[in-house]
A and B are shown apart, each in its own frame.
Chain A
Amino acid sequence: MWQAGSKESNDCLITLKKSDKTKIKIDSIVGHLFHNQILNAVKDTLKSDNINNVEVLVEDKGALDYTIRARLKVAIKRMMKDV
């Protein structure tokens, strides 16, 4: 399991796990307004980093897209270091 970020206001905590296929779970305080934007930010970042077969959990406290992308990229780097 690899993580980046925090559960502070305006931030998000990203948790990555190995998986047999890509799964994205979003738990956001602004999910009712921005679910699709958050999902797209995650999908785009995974695609640009060529990442498949991970389970992504986004625990979001109102982070903007660039924060979500940055946190996910760091989590991915931490994962790559280990495998």
Chain B
Amino acid sequence: MLNGVKRKIPNNLPRFVSSDDFLNKKRKLVSKKKKQLKTVFFNSYEEVFDKFNIKDKTTLSFHHHLRNGDRVIQEVCKVIKNNKLNDLHFAPSSIFPSYTNMTELIKKGNITNIHTNYLNGEVAKVISEGKLKGKLIMNTHGGRARAIESGDLAIDVAFIACPTVDRSGNGSGAIGKNACGTLGYCVPDLEYAKKVVLITDNLVDKLDDYQLNGEYVDGVLVVDSIGEAKGIVSGTTEVTKDPIGLKIARDCSVLLSDLGLLKNNFSMQTGAGKTSLAVVNYIKEIMIKQDIKGGFASGGITKSYVEMLEANLFEKLYDVQCFDLEAVRSFKENINHIAMSASKYGNPFEKDIIAEKLDFVILGATEIDLDFNVNVTTDSSGYLIGGSGGHADIAKGAKVTIIISPLIKSRIPIIKEKVTTITTPGEDIDILITERGIAINPKRKDLIKKLKSSKIKVFDIKELLDKTHDITGVPANIKTDDKIIGYVEYRDGTYIDVLRKVHDDYIK
């Protein structure tokens, strides 16, 4: 049966209807875990496995706040291998290239099912090539919170890396030798997993200010190191020097201005790439020149937003994960740099979420099609290279969703007749900005009207596709394998697309 974005989904599975369809559904909520009176201290990962009875088919969860610096998931994988456990279900909020120990466990069947919001590196490669015996479910950041809180994703044991923990089991990411700032993604794990263990390399007597409430914590494991702070930095602190990126960024800022989106109390979110950073800089210039003070910026917070908060250009920052060490410092020092949980960020069923309060968001795309559907999950040959993260959540929530991308990346056109994989439905994508022109989703007649008097020339997205093909040639259709390796789960819990094994001809 076809779903709401015309993808074929196997009959017994929940089909995506539209991004608004959650409004017709009742929130499903299981009770939070029982609060603990006493926190147990463990001596080793092995002891955690033993006491929490981790055996075959157990579901384990992790967060990705330490990104490429994470050591906890690597250590847990070693114990699984030594204990010869099979058919485990892993639910890390994201999977990074440094999580190399997962690869062998996937190939050998120790890990057979995975839920995650984003993945790249070796794990992404082996799953793309069909090595995971069960299924991969790709969630959004808000959707993962929904899945956990509704009981759809039931976690047996949550391993939560935590930079500082006190003797009552309260946890904070703000301080410690591996401080990583806010710990927004693991809040649902903390409150809903059957058992929770915090792993730390900095035990203190008492924390006055903490994000993770020790009443939900069953155990604490103190280790030499939970990771390496230098691996925490994600994204970039460099503004692009590429003339194409700069043109896109400048056009984007002009467009925001022409649409009247830069005004007092406005709110925004962008990614952390070099071009996004250039957009933020242009926006900053306009704000200073026109004396505009923004309400808030949210996200993955980076240094450039910290500077704007400190320059009083934004009132507040809402932060689910700190992308660099400057953001970590600001989170610790500035009361207006506020932590948010994954649920408060983007869970469709939660009240007053930040995603719904955003005026505009600026996002990337690997592919976008003539219906404005966006793919950030797979590349042009079908390899997994990322995933939604918050993409689908904020695209739905924001009043205006803008995609910025070069029209051509190494000869590959970003506009396609049909995207390889749908991550975010076209109904939530409003504007595409490329170096050779802008396209607006025809359903946003209000935006088209507002730009009538603008200097910016608007094209039909099909015109931009034809322009691209004139330059690159028409690409061949890619071959796909029949084998289904997993699904892209939309934030409301329905399936928006199917993930297939990469065709043997493309295996690297």
Residues of A within 8 A of B (CB): 9-10, 29-30, 32-37, 61-65
Contacts A35-B476, A64-B471, A65-B473 given; indicate if A30 touches B412 (C-beta within 8 A).
yes
Please measure, in the bound complex, the distance between the C-alpha atom of A64 and the C-alpha atom of B475, giving whole angstroms.
Answer: 12
Q: How far is the CA of A74 from the CA of B506 in the complex (A)?
A: 31
Most interface-central of A33, A34, A36, A61 (chain B CB within 10 A):
A33
Query: Which residues in chain B, 335-375, are within 8 Å of chain A measured between CB atoms?
Result: none
Taking the complex as formed, is B505 at the interface, i.e. its CB lies under 8 A from any CB of chain A? yes
Given known A32-B380, A64-B411, contact A37–B506 (CB-CB < 8 A): no
B295 to chain A, nearest CB (A): 39
Q: Enumerate 14 A-B pairs (CB-CB under 8 Å) in ascending A order.
A: A10-B410, A10-B411, A32-B505, A32-B506, A33-B411, A33-B412, A33-B475, A33-B476, A34-B472, A34-B475, A37-B473, A62-B411, A62-B412, A64-B471
Contacts between the two chains (Cβ within 8 Å), count: 39
B240 within 8 A of A: no
Taken together as a complex, chains A and B put the C-alpha atoms of A69 and B154 apart, in Å, by 57
Residues of B within 8 A of A9 (CB): 410
Question: In this complex, what residue of B is CB-closest to A30?
Answer: B411
Contact of A64 among B380, B381, B409, B472 (CB under 8 A): B472
- B409 contacts which chain A residues (CB < 8 A)? 62
B478 at the interface (CB under 8 A from A): yes
| The 6 A-B residue pairs with the shortest CB-CB distance in the complex, in nearest-first order | A62-B410, A33-B475, A62-B411, A37-B473, A30-B411, A32-B381
State the CA gap A77–B411 with chains docked (Å): 26
How far, in whole Å, are A32 and B412 apart by their CA atoms in the complex?
11
Flag B448-483 by CB within 8 Å of A: 1 or 0 each: 000000000000000000000001110110100000
Range class of the B interface residue count: 10 to 19
Residues of A within 8 A of B380 (CB): 30, 32-33
Residues of A contacting B473 with CB < 8 Å? 34, 37, 65
**Across the interface, which residues of B come within 8 angstroms of A63, CB to CB?**
411
The closest CB in chain A to the CB of B409 belongs to A62
Q: Which residues 464-508 in B have Cβ within 8 Å of A in the complex?
A: 471-473, 475-476, 478, 505-506
Chain A residues positioned under 8 Å from B412 (CB to CB): 30, 33, 62
In addition to A30-B475, A62-B411, 9 A-B residue pairs with Cβ atoms within 8 Å of each other are A29-B410, A30-B380, A30-B411, A32-B380, A32-B476, A33-B380, A33-B412, A35-B476, A36-B476
In whole angstroms, what is the CA distance A30 to B471 when docked?
15
Complex Cα–Cα for A65 and B473 (A): 9
Please give the distance in Å from A62's CB to the nearest CB on chain B. 3
Cβ–Cβ < 8 Å partners of A35 in chain B:
476
A10 to B475, CA, bound (A): 16
How far is A17 from B90 in the complex, measured between Cα atoms in Å? 52
Tell me whether A32 and B410 are in contact in the complex, defined as CB-CB below 8 angstroms, given that A37-B473, A64-B472 are known contacts: no
What A residues does B505 contact at CB under 8 A?
Answer: 32
**Bound CA–CA A36/B476 (angstroms):** 9
Q: In the complex, which residues of chain A have a beta carbon less than 8 angstroms from the beta carbon of B411?
A: 10, 30, 33-34, 62-64
The chain A residue with its CB closest to the CB of B505 is A32
- CB contacts (< 8 Å) of A37 on chain B: these are 473
Determine the distance from Cα of A29 to Cα of B379 in the docked complex, in whole angstroms: 12
CA distance A34 to B505 in the complex (A): 14
The complex places the Cα of A61 from the Cα of B380 at a distance, in Å, of 14
Note all chain B residues with C-beta closer than 8 A to A29.
410
- In the complex, which residue of chain A has the Cβ closest to the Cβ of B476? A33
How distant is the Cα of A34 from the Cα of B471 in the complex, in angstroms?
12
Residue in B closest to A41 when the chains form the complex, CB atoms: B473
Task: Give chain A residues whose Cβ lies under 8 Å from the Cβ of B506.
Answer: 32
Bound-state Cα–Cα, A61 to B409, Å: 10
Could you say which residues of chain B place their CB within 8 Å of the CB of A61? 410
CB of A57, distance to nearest CB on chain B (Å): 18
Chain B residues with CB below 8 A from A10, complex form: 410-411
Q: How far is the CB of B14 from chain A (nearest CB, A)?
A: 32
What is the CA–CA distance of A37 and B476 in the complex, to the nearest angstrom? 10
Q: Nearest Cβ distance between residue A65 and chain B, in whole angstroms?
A: 7
What residues of chain A lie closer than 8 Å to B381, measured between beta carbons?
A: 32
Contacts of B478 in A (CB 8 A): 32-33
Which chain A residue lies CB-closest to B412? A30
Closest to A66 in B: B471
Please, how many angstroms separate the alpha-carbon atoms of A61 and B473 in the complex? 16
Q: Looking at the assembled complex, report how far the CB atom of A21 sits from the nearest CB atom of chain B, in whole angstroms.
A: 27
Q: How far is the CB of A8 from chain B (nearest CB, A)?
A: 10
Give the shortest distance, in Å, between A9 (CB) and chain B (any CB).
Answer: 6
In the assembled complex, which residues on chain B have CB atoms less than 8 Å from the CB atom of A34? 411, 472-473, 475-476
A60 to chain B, nearest CB (A): 8
